[in-house]
Structure 1
Amino acid sequence: MLGNLCDVPGVLVGHATDREGATGCTAVLFDRPAVVGVDVRGSSPETRGTAGLGQTGIVRHRQGILLTGGSAFGLSAADGVMRYLEERGIGLDVGVARIPLVAAAVLFDLATGSADARPDAAMGYEAASSAESGAFEEGTVGAGTGASVGNILGMERAMKGGLGTASARPGGGEGGLIVAALVAVNAFGDVRDPGTGETLAGPRLDGGALGDTVELMPEAAARVRWGENTTLGIVATNARLDTSQVQKVAEMGHDGLARAISPVHTTVDGDLVFAAALGEVDAATDVVGAWGARVLSEAVVRAVRAASGLSGLPSVSELPLGGAPRA
């Protein structure tokens, strides 16, 4: 096991990263039909190609998912992913053409690095063309390049978010169920290790301690601004799930975000979770969903631990002893 999203057969992951502009995107492609669902809990989302993933959608298969920075501007990166797939004859056959179906979601990173640096079609194409089934970089890369955490006291007090991944084989054994996750953490709230309760990343106070965003909210409400955050997750599995089942897995995946991020699903976040099923393993929906939440919370922790500082945002590894005490 690689311990990443590519442990699910048929999943390929690629990044495009602009460290100077502090933005990027991550393409997740499928080399076989994937039933995809999405559940949005944050109040400030920007997405593309997700409306058809609802219960009334006729075509629930997707050839790829794009997570990208750049706020709404970054949605144009999906054009590059579509072009890459079209060049290879991949997409829904409508007789006169094959239309690649790519779902996309964005996070806000315009306040990190350059506000003029946004993923475009060229970056989307780069991410798709680099997608492979194997090990891939985590941290300050792809959609996590410009991500931040804990900005209630302003970006000058925030910390570096990032991109993380994790996987599990529930029950163990070869040929059995695999559930994996990938997440770009750009949270308004704090990131905590569910296993220890330790706050890993959040607003930095005088003296080096980390503040508690929930406790700071009453006094700092004026700093809470629309749509400047968002955590984007993907849960993938080799289970055989139908459209209602994969939707439930996406819903349950949010439990993983809630275990590791506080607060989560706020009005200023656009938090969402995609779920993708592309296998033939028999598994109960609740088992896949419960493990999806578990690996997603692990991926959140890995995202901030793997991140490196950028544009004045320090990472967890740059704090004393790899962390800081809570106030």
Structure 2
Amino acid sequence: PGNLVEKVQAIVLSGGSAFGLDAATGVMKYLEERGFGYETSAGRVPIVPAAIIFDLNIGDSKVRPGANEGYQACLAATDGKVTEGCVGAGTGATVGKILGVERAIKSGLGTASQKIAGDIVVAALIVVNAVGDVIELGTGKILAGPRKPDESGFLSTSELWKGELKEAVPPFNTVIGVVATDAKLSKAEASKLARVAQVGIARTIDPCHTMYDGDALFVLSSGDKDADVNALGAAAAEVVAEAIVRAIQKAETLAGVPAAKDIRTC
């Protein structure tokens, strides 16, 4: 919040591990061609923060997004309904990986939004690639976690971890996403809101923020409406939690990793 640049022109969320960061190059090219960016003596420089998930163990590891895919994503962007599930950065996302990806559950990308103070929108778009389980809001029921050997439901990652687990834990996991609002925010307020929004991760992923997770949330303000930051924070945590659950509900079985809806539970 204390640095010079006040605005960003885009956020990129991608799969492909560190290779996927190249998608931001295509987004920058698209923005530069249209005159968007931070004004410098050498021209406008688009400011495009990016975050990625590790999904190279799902499908062909040589197939990953690059600059061309980032550029094409800009061309395909609309203001219509967002497609959820195994799309975009959520294509290779999985959860419940403490026993390895062979016992994991397919995840994806989820969204949620709500209005506060009458007409102020708070929305979240989350890619769920956690090592832990996704749990149901209000009940604590495991919606997605490491599959039981007989495929009859899910084991608890927390209980496995606290027990005598001898199998290696995959170290490549993260939850990434964006919280956006049409309320007016300073950079300091946006930074605070990003921290508060992480509460939504804690409500729906167990365990979360582990040494094997690299969770990151961005906050965007696109409007000029006055709003209480505390109210925005409460809403942000709620929509993040809802989006995480939807990422599981909308996911489909892919590359041999089953979706939660394809697992019979007892």
TM-score bin (small chain): over 0.9
**Residue by residue, what CA displacement relative to the aligned partner does 1:87-111 show, whole Å, maximum 9, x if unpaired?**
1111112133111110000111011
The equivalent residue for 1:188 is 131
Query: What amino acid sits opposite 2:173 in the alignment?
Result: N
Identity %: 47
Q: 1:209: how far off?
A: 2.1
The residue number in structure 1 matching 2:263 is 319
Instruction: Say which structure, 1 or 2, has more relative contact order (CA 8 Å, 6+ apart).
Output: 1
For 1:209 and 1:295, the matched residues in 2 are separated by: 27
1:224-270 C-alpha deviation (Å, 9 max, x unpaired): 243x1111021111111111111010000100011010111111111
For the structure 1 residues 171 and 195, does the alpha-carbon distance in structure 2 shift closer, same or farther, using more than 3 Å as the test?
A: farther
Q: CA deviation at 1:162?
A: 0.3
Q: Which runs of 5+ in 1 are unaligned?
A: 1-54
Which ranges of structure 2 fall in alignment gaps of 5 or more residues?
A: none
| 1:224 maps onto 2:169 in alignment | yes
Give the aligned partner of residue 74 of structure 1.
20
Q: Which residue of 1 aligns with 2:63?
A: 117
Q: TM-score scaled by structure 2?
A: 0.96
CA distance in structure 1 between the aligned counterparts of 2:107 and 2:169, rounded to whole angstroms = 18
The superposition leaves residues 129-149 of structure 1 with CA deviations (integer Å, 9 ceiling, x where unpaired) of 111111121000000000001
1:282 to 226, 229, 247: 226
Between the aligned partners of 1:214 and 1:204, the Cα distance in structure 2 is 14
Distance 1:285 1:221, change over 3 A: farther
- CA distance 1:219–1:129, shift in 2 (3 Å): farther
CA distance in 2, matches of 1:157, 1:225: 11
Residue number among 214, 236, 240 corresponding to 2:180 in the alignment: 236
Contact 1:246/1:276 (<8 A) preserved = yes
- Counterpart residue number, 2:148: 205
| Matched length | 264
**TM-fit CA distance, 1:221:** 5.4
User: How does the TM-score come out when normalised to structure 1?
Assistant: 0.78
Provide the rounded CA distance (Å) in 2 between the counterparts of 1:296 and 1:86: 31
Report how far residue 197 of structure 1 moved: 2.2
Mapped to 2, the partners of 1:239 and 1:250 lie a distance apart of: 14
CA distance in structure 1 between the partners assigned to 2:224 and 2:262 by the alignment: 43
Deviations 1:2-26 (A, max 9, x none): xxxxxxxxxxxxxxxxxxxxxxxxx
SS at match of 1:223: coil
Pairwise mapping of residues 1-327 of structure 1 onto structure 2 (< 5 A)? 55-172=1-118, 176-207=119-150, 208-217=152-161, 218-220=163-165, 222-226=167-171, 228-320=172-264, 324-325=265-266
Superimposed CA distance per residue, residues 31-76 of structure 1 (whole angstroms, 9 cap, x where no aligned partner): xxxxxxxxxxxxxxxxxxxxxxxx3321031000001111111111
User: What letter matches 2:129 in structure 1?
Assistant: N
- Alpha-carbon separation, structure 1, partners of 2:170 and 2:196: 27
